[in-house]
Amino acid sequence: MATANDNQATHSTQPDGSLTITDNRTGKSYEVEISQGAIKASDLLQIRTIDDEPGLTTYDPGFVNTASCKSAITYIDGEHGILEYRGYPIEQLAEGASFLEVAYLLIKGSLPTKAEYEQWVHEITFHTYVHENVRGFMQGFRYDAHPMGMLMASVGALSTFYPESNNIDDPDNRHIQIIRMIAKMPTLGAWAFRHAQGKPYIYPDNDLGYTANFLSMLFKMSEQRYAPDERLVKALDTLFILHADHEQNCSTNAVRSVGSSHVDPYSSVAAGIGALYGPLHGGANEAVLRMLRRIGKAENIPDFIKGVKAGEERLMGFGHRVYKNYDPRAKIIKKACDDVFEVTGTNPLLDIAVELEKIALEDEYFVKRRLYPNVDFYSGLIYEALAFPPEMFTVLFAIGRTPGWLAQWVELTEDKEQKIARPKQIYTGDRRLDFIPSEQRWS
Ligand code: CMC
């Protein structure tokens, strides 16, 4: 069993070697250092044909092969289906840790002692309430407002309630804003849900745990105290853990990019929520449910697969930019499905999903392209069983991802090598046109 100290030696910043580049335009050669498997993009600037032209740059839409930071938070090996938070395998954390323990691990860098954990849970529990004016403006949204839009706006608005949060260089100040954000996210998410249902907002119950309190704010009606089934609490807590971080994905990149301007963390996280809102990022689990419903029964699977192979559509919940193996999160979610359905009764769509997975994993089309189930293949089934409407799926993702966003934000603020995000462009437009005033252009 490796410990954090054993691993120190493997993270040396000494150069691994060097790369020699010959510019065939000029015949000149350059040597650039390779360190931790990367070259510095700024080392390419010395490569130019004439002295006053800008140096060579790289063109990388979507940052497919550009590292924007050094990070010690999350490790992914997509070839082998490995995901680790701070070095701990996701399987072990999902099995044995609570979501708040994982949140501490991600943000503080190591697992908490008993005293640290109790203090952490205490602080988060007693910051679950929001200012009454937050409730007021949330009630001002239209009756059919999407909960992600409400969440994004409300988190952004928290910066106006805590203006001191822009003092990002003070670790104590950062700490309290982190506590507030993790604590209030379920309150805001649950109220966005109640709003769409036209039901009264439920205040936090601080005698309940983090996830149980969230379920209470979502589903409590006239009973004295909402008492969720512990197996459902555990399943949702596990889903939060599985979504807690995933290194430099679109929303994390948004948090870091906005945070690099040194704005307060609420504004940065609101940007992350905006990125997550998009269907290419947070919305695939909903598409999986629609697909399973359309397939309808197991006998229709071969025809559906035929259509996928003919390029007519995609098998949603399959394939990943990084994982070329089974997404480790999908395995854990599949198991959580069984636990949830034990309580809620089975969903016939699960049988279709299991059969679909079996057929796809044996089919040459999927095998050749290394397409495996991803985190979204089974998660929508659980969310539906827990009585969430599809618009809430991404809100659940956002609550789970909040500690990851904040861990990445802290790392950014403490990283002396970081600068304000400012990518380059390759300009393809016109130049030096002569402006003709409108009275002449339009005459
Ligand atoms: N069904 C059928 N074919 C697929 C699929 C799929 N789900 N995914 C990829 N392919 C094929 C694709 O057609 C291409 O084939 P060919 O080489 O013949 O043109 C090949 O596999 C490579 O696909 P790609 O689009 O170049 O791969 P990518 O890395 O750009 O896309 C992806 C990754 C996740 C967008 C894609 O696999 C996809 O659209 N999957 C379905 C949507 C989905 O489940 N998204 C959730 C992703 S996990 C969320 C998270 O981690 O946050």
Domain ranges of the chain: 94-249+265-277+392-414, 284-385
What average pLDDT score do residues 366-379 get?
Answer: 93
CATH 1.10.230.10 fits 284-385, yes or no: yes
What is the residue-averaged pLDDT of the chain? 94
Question: b/e string for 100-137 if b means 16 or more Cβ within 10 A?
Answer: bbbbbbbbbeebbeeeeeeebbebbbebbebeeebbee
Encoding tokens for residue 219?
A: 């589903």
- Determine which of 7-21, 57-71, 133-147, 180-194 has the lowest per-residue pLDDT on average: 7-21
- Ligand 1 atom 36, closest CA: 319
Annotation says 80 is catalytic = no
- Is 284-385 in the same CATH topology as 94-249+265-277+392-414? no
Annotation says 146 is catalytic = no
Probe target for ligand 1 pocket from 295, 304, 314, with the most ligand atoms within 8 Å of CB: 314
- Per-residue pLDDT reduced to its tens digit, 188-241: 999 999 999 999 999 999 999 999 999 999 999 999 999 999 999 999 999 999
Q: What is the pLDDT of residue 334?
A: 87
pLDDT above 70 (res 1): no
Q: Which of 176, 179, 187, 178 is nearest to 135 (CA)?
A: 187
pLDDT above 60 (res 374): yes
CA 73–ligand 1 middle distance (angstroms): 26
Encoding tokens for residue 33?
A: 């250092």
- Per-residue pLDDT reduced to its tens digit, 8-47: 545 667 788 999 999 999 999 999 999 999 999 999 999 9
Q: What is the pLDDT of residue 188?
A: 98
Percentage of the chain beyond pLDDT 90 is: 85
CA 318–ligand 1 middle distance (angstroms): 7
The fold of 94-249+265-277+392-414 is: Citrate Synthase; domain 1 (1.10.580)
Percentage of the chain beyond pLDDT 70 is: 97
Annotation says 320 is catalytic = yes
CA 72–ligand 1 middle distance (angstroms): 28
Question: b/e string for 327-343 if b means 16 or more Cβ within 10 A?
Answer: bbbbbbbbebbeebbee
- Per-residue pLDDT reduced to its tens digit, 334-370: 888 888 999 998 888 989 999 999 999 999 999 999 9
> Cα angle vertex 169, ends 166, 170, to 5°?
90
Q: What is the pLDDT of residue 11?
A: 62
Largest CA distance in the chain: 80
- Identify whether the C-beta of residue 268 lies closer than 8 Å to the C-beta of residue 181: no
Cα 147 versus chain centre, distance:
17
pTM of the model: 0.92
Q: What is the pLDDT of residue 321?
A: 84
